[in-house]
Amino acid sequence: MDILSNLWLGFTIVFTPTNILFLLIGAFVGMIVGIIPGFGPTAGIAILLSLTYTLDPTTAIIMLAGIYYGSMYGGTITSIVINTPGESATVASTFDGYPLAKRGRVGPALVMQAVASFIGGTIGVILISGFAPYFANLARSFGPPEYFMIMVMGLLTLIIIMGENKIYGCISALLGLALAVVGVDVISGAQRYTFGQPELINGIYFLPVAIGLFGIGELFHSVSEGAHKAAQGTIIKFDMRKDFWPSVTEWVESKFAFIRGSLLGFFVGVLPGAGATVASLMSYSLEKKVSKEPEKFGKGYMPGLVGPESANNAASAGAMIPLLTLGIPGSGSTAVLLGAFLMWGLQPGPLLMTDNPEFSWGLISSMYLGNVILIAVNIFAIPLFIKIMKIPYYYMVPVILILCTIGTFSLHGSIIETWIMLIFGVIGFLMKKYGFSPAALVLALVLGLMAENTLRQSLIISDGNLSVFFTRPISLTVLLIMAVMIIFPLIKKAKNTFMKNDSDVQM
């Protein structure tokens, strides 16, 4: 009954004219952000966060969360229509989405992805409503050692999923940790790496860094790839009046893919660092393994689109659980959302849902309504979004650059922060070009100061004895999980190398 009463409280907050208006804005902007190839929700949230500074925190986070999960809907439109993922979480949607479009099934594919996104997002929010209070209760038993280990695991997970670029991920995270220590030491009161600049005494604010890395950096990278002068890609045309709705056969073939993708996506999304991209790729692999007709995948098979679409939206919902209950972001997008919480003086963690129920349950309830809005917009505004995709990129470049600059300067009226944004725009471009991880840098910057404080608190509690991390059950469990995360890939790599050498010897 507590969950139902909390949801009722949340809906009473959401169903106000102001919150509904900003939810609509967030959902619509999220779809636009998703449609712009390579841009993604992190850049959209980072750029628009500065514009929400004067809003009520609940209203602002409702809008920003709408951008976050709304981009999952929009990103698939380009995946299906022009074989270009709007962002990384919709890569798997190109595998069968574009072949469906080439077969003249673009209408059914777009409708089906909207329904899959709605089902995945809604199941994800239902599971949040059920699981979040229990996660919060568990987290209340956490002390500084447990929080420190959880933060380290979040960073480790983000580094591990980088595949062959793990070293670059480590370097990115270390750079973020180095930036996090700029400012005043909370224990000694000494200034660290401020270089005599009064504006750096409070540290390097995460938002200029995030806008630079994800906004300006993505802009520079797209321009360097020739997006500003490239001709408009071939758009597959379709007629809204015919061949728009999926067939009965396609619904029947996909019925279990909706559920499998949603459940898999949610539980993958709960893992810090895993995220929607991993969930969608895992879902595609799962659908292919359980299918009685795996040969159809990659040739325009509807379950191959439905599974990943359900998974990436459920994962974006699942990622809200560690953010709300532990204060641990699992991706660049949720790292920026965490920074937004802190900007408004709200500390995500086990007490957030107890001390600020209006905020936390207002956010959760808004996701129910947001998914309803998004499925309606996604289906009936498809022609509009197709036209938006035809806008030449060179028109977007100056608009995005101006938004980034004005948004950063308007935060604190600081020219230093504006220069920081531009510098990290260049750094973000170089990181993307050479395979480093801007997400790991931002995550480390947001978590760095909290990780330092919890580490020092833990050592004060134990009089400098590191055994405090091994003698507490939860801390030890997290440590063992991290050990498995590190050792398992090494064993797998050694096994593959051994099998390869063995096959070479036999030949």
User: pLDDT in tens for each of the 507 residues of the chain?
Assistant: 477 777 788 888 888 888 889 888 888 888 877 776 556 677 777 777 777 777 888 888 888 888 887 877 777 776 777 666 666 677 678 778 878 877 777 778 888 888 888 898 889 888 888 877 777 677 667 778 887 887 787 677 666 655 567 788 788 888 988 888 888 887 777 888 887 777 778 788 776 887 788 778 877 877 777 655 554 444 455 555 556 677 788 788 888 888 898 888 888 777 665 567 667 877 887 888 788 887 788 778 888 888 888 888 888 888 888 788 777 776 667 777 877 787 777 777 767 777 788 888 888 888 888 888 888 877 777 667 666 656 676 777 787 787 778 767 766 677 888 898 889 989 988 988 888 878 778 777 877 877 888 888 888 888 888 888 888 888 888 888 888 878 877 777 777 776 666 565 555
Q: Which residues of 266-346 form beta strands (DSSP E)?
A: none
**Alpha carbon distance 440, 170 (integer Å):** 8
pTM: 0.68
Residue 6: closest CA among 397, 417, 461, 358? 358
CB 291 within 8 A of CB 98: no
SS3 241: coil
Residue 353: closest CA among 133, 99, 102, 92? 133
Report helix, strand and coil shares of the chain as percent, to nearest 5. 75, 0, 20
Residues 6+ apart with CB under 8 A from 282: 264, 268, 311
**Where are the chain's structural domains?**
2-471
The kind and range of the H/E element at 297 are: none
**Alpha carbon distance 498, 436 (integer Å):** 29
Other beta carbons less than 10 A from residue 495's beta carbon: 10
β-bridge partners, 183: 192
For 297, half-sphere exposure in the C-beta direction (CA atoms, 13 angstrom radius) is 21
